[in-house]
């Protein structure tokens, strides 16, 4: 990996850096996965420490940063569309600084600098400490780029600037070493590394003390978490966190079918404050396709993990990721995918059409399944999955669920929203006299359901 120097042709300063920062409002817009959401908070933390001012209104901003995703072609198209729109902001304010952060920035690098005569700075996921410096140069008219990937950066000393409610993200690993053949992440986020064990547990405690009631531990493959210095794996981390913050609801994502150990599953079963929900992507139902994807497990291994989960936690909810139309996928292999969906009965799924990504191994396999076939297969998977999720949720009518209260719903302030221990979104009429507040866990009796949501009444 190479690093282009930050352009340093800085014009004479009229103001000191501190004053410059204090009068500079920064707006960050986030695309992609939860990791990117947490990264935007890290960038917010880095900027705040330098005195910059965060704003939620792009109209007010002196600096607009888009934290981008590169996972599928449509994720990148979205960013180009957004840049077209940002041209109007630049027309109104010719001093506006526009920056691209994240995975697309890392993938396309210098190609993006000056894009649409708009992009002043480009910063990859391991270079966020340089954002203040790059903004300062850009405010003085110099474009800059920082895209070096690191083997060690975990931002463990940065306090993310969190704004959202009672739930917080904590990244426990960065990067990915799995090299699934379709995936850009190992290239955009670099080598896998784990954040120190104690810094995670300490952050969880601080979050509880400052009012957070739910944390999600994040990694592309949480099961490969390992702190060498402390000799602690992911099961150790789950246990220590569950003990350190006994009243915090603890979630995590993403699990990997090959690496998910019995110890992780058993630890989940042992602690009530670890949410009974697992996101376990299977991607494809055929062993031949799994091998082409370099997923490193077979469907037997996958089902073995599902059986272990159900044995330890019979009511654990499950979700998954599925890709339709991987190169050379036959109709029979597509049926195998549908069979896994039928057999496991997932509570939820993220389902995608295969999108070829330049420079990945699968890119070289061609893209021989037509868009029409991919779409048809995808729709079959979606239809089956939705009907199963609907049936599963119907069985919950009449049961009582432990719902973590998040607050009024967007559409109707008298209807409040929360999530069950199994991560199902639940709506219920707010009753003032019941005395609960946002962040409490309440009992809700389920009265009505859809394939994705529950409705109920607070007990
Ligand atoms: N680390 C996680 C997920 C990362 S990306 C894991 O391994 O499961 C989220 C999902 O996007 C993947 O699980 C996969 O289903 C999907 N995805 C990744 N690359 C893709 C591509 N090139 N085309 C279509 N879907 C893709
Ligand atoms: Fe991509 Fe595979 Fe890593 Fe997930 S495990 S981020 S799909 S390479
Ligand atoms: Fe997208 Fe990067 Fe996440 S490619 S899905 S933002 S790791």
User: Which residues have CB under 6 Å of ligand 2?
Assistant: 176, 178-180, 183, 185-186, 220-221
Tell me the average pLDDT across 42-66: 96
The whole-model pTM stands at 0.94
Percentage of the chain exceeding pLDDT 70: 96
What is residue 20's predicted lDDT score, i.e. its pLDDT? 82
Q: Note if the bond before 34 is cis, omega within 30 degrees.
A: no
Count CB-CB contacts under 10 A for residue 359. Answer: 9
Q: How far is the CA of 182 from the centre of ligand 2 (A)?
A: 9
Residue minimizing CA distance to atom 7 of ligand 3? 185
Weakest mean pLDDT among 151-165, 271-285, 349-363:
151-165
pLDDT digits (tens, 9 = 90+) for 19-31: 788 889 999 999 9
Contacts of 277 (CB under 8 A, 6+ apart): 251, 316, 317, 318, 319, 347, 421, 422, 423
User: Is the pLDDT reported for residue 236 higher than 60?
Assistant: yes
pLDDT digits (tens, 9 = 90+) for 382-393: 999 999 999 999
What is residue 14's predicted lDDT score, i.e. its pLDDT? 43
What is residue 115's predicted lDDT score, i.e. its pLDDT? 81
What is residue 18's predicted lDDT score, i.e. its pLDDT? 74
User: Is the pLDDT reported for residue 12 higher than 70?
Assistant: no
The pLDDT mean for the chain works out to 94
355 lines ligand 1 (CB under 6 A): yes
Count CB-CB contacts under 10 A for residue 237. Answer: 26
Q: Work out the pLDDT band at 13, boundaries 50, 70, 90.
A: very low
What is residue 163's predicted lDDT score, i.e. its pLDDT? 79
Q: Work out the pLDDT band at 16, boundaries 50, 70, 90.
A: low
Ligand that lies nearest to the alpha carbon of residue 174, given by its number in the listed order:
3
Residue ranges of domains in the chain, CATH in brackets: 18-146 (3.40.50.12160), 164-275 (3.30.750.210), 400-458 (2.40.50.140)
User: Is the pLDDT reported for residue 155 higher than 80?
Assistant: yes
Q: How far is the CA of 70 from the centre of ligand 3 (A)?
A: 6
Q: How far is the CA of 279 from the centre of ligand 2 (A)?
A: 13
Q: Which atom of ligand 3 is nearest to the CA of 125?
A: 2
Q: State the number of CA atoms in the 13 A half-sphere of 155 facing the CB.
A: 26
């Amino acid at each position: 990996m190479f690093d282009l120097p930050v352009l340093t042709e800085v014009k004479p300063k009229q103001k000191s850096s501190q004053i410059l920062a204090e009068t500079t409002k920064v707006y960050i817009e986030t695309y992609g996965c939860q990791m990117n959401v947490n990264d935007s908070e890290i960038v917010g933390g880095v900027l705040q420490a330098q005195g910059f001012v965060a704003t939620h209104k792009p109209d007010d901003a002196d600096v607009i940063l888009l934290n981008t995703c590169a996972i599928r072609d449509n994720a990148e198209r979205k960013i180009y569309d957004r840049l077209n729109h940002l041209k109007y902001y630049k027309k109104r304010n010719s001093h506006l600084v526009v920056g691209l952060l994240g995975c697309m920035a890392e993938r396309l690098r210098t190609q993006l600098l000056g894009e649409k005569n708009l992009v002043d700075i480009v910063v990859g996921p391991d270079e966020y400490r340089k954002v203040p410096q790059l903004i300062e140069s850009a405010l003085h008219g110099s474009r800059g780029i920082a895209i070096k990937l690191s083997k060690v950066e975990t931002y463990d000393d940065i306090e993310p600037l969190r704004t959202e409610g009672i739930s917080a993200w904590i990244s426990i690993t960065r990067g990915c070493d799995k090299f699934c053949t379709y995936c850009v992440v190992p290239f955009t986020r670099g080598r896998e590394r784990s954040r120190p064990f104690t810094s995670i547990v300490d952050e969880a405690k601080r979050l509880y003390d400052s009012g957070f009631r739910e944390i999600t531990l994040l990694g592309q493959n949480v099961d490969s978490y390992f702190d060498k210095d402390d000799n602690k794996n992911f099961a150790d981390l789950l246990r220590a966190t569950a003990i350190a913050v006994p009243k915090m609801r603890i979630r995590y994502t993403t699990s990997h079918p090959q690496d998910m150990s019995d110890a992780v599953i058993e630890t989940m079963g042992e602690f009530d404050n670890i949410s009974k929900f697992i996101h376990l992507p299977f991607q494809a139902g055929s062993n031949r396709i799994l091998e082409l994807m370099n997923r490193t497990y077979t469907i037997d291994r996958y089902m073995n993990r599902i059986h272990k989960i159900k044995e330890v936690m019979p009511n654990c909810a499950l979700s998954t990721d599925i890709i339709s139309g991987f190169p050379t996928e036959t109709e029979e292999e597509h049926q195998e995918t549908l069979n896994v969906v039928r057999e496991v009965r997932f509570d939820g799924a993220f389902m995608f059409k295969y999108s070829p990504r330049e420079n990945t191994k699968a890119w070289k396999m061609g893209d021989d399944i037509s868009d029409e076939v991919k779409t048809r297969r995808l729709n079959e998977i979606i239809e089956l999955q939705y009907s199963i999720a609907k049936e599963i949720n119907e069985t919950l009518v009449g049961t009582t669920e432990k719902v973590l209260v998040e607050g009024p719903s967007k559409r109707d302030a008298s209807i409040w929203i929360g999530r069950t221990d199994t991560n199902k979104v639940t709506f219920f009429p707010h009753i003032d006299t019941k005395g609960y507040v946002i962040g409490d866990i309440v009992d809700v009796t389920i009265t009505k359901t859809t394939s994705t949501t529950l409705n109920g009444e607070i007990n």
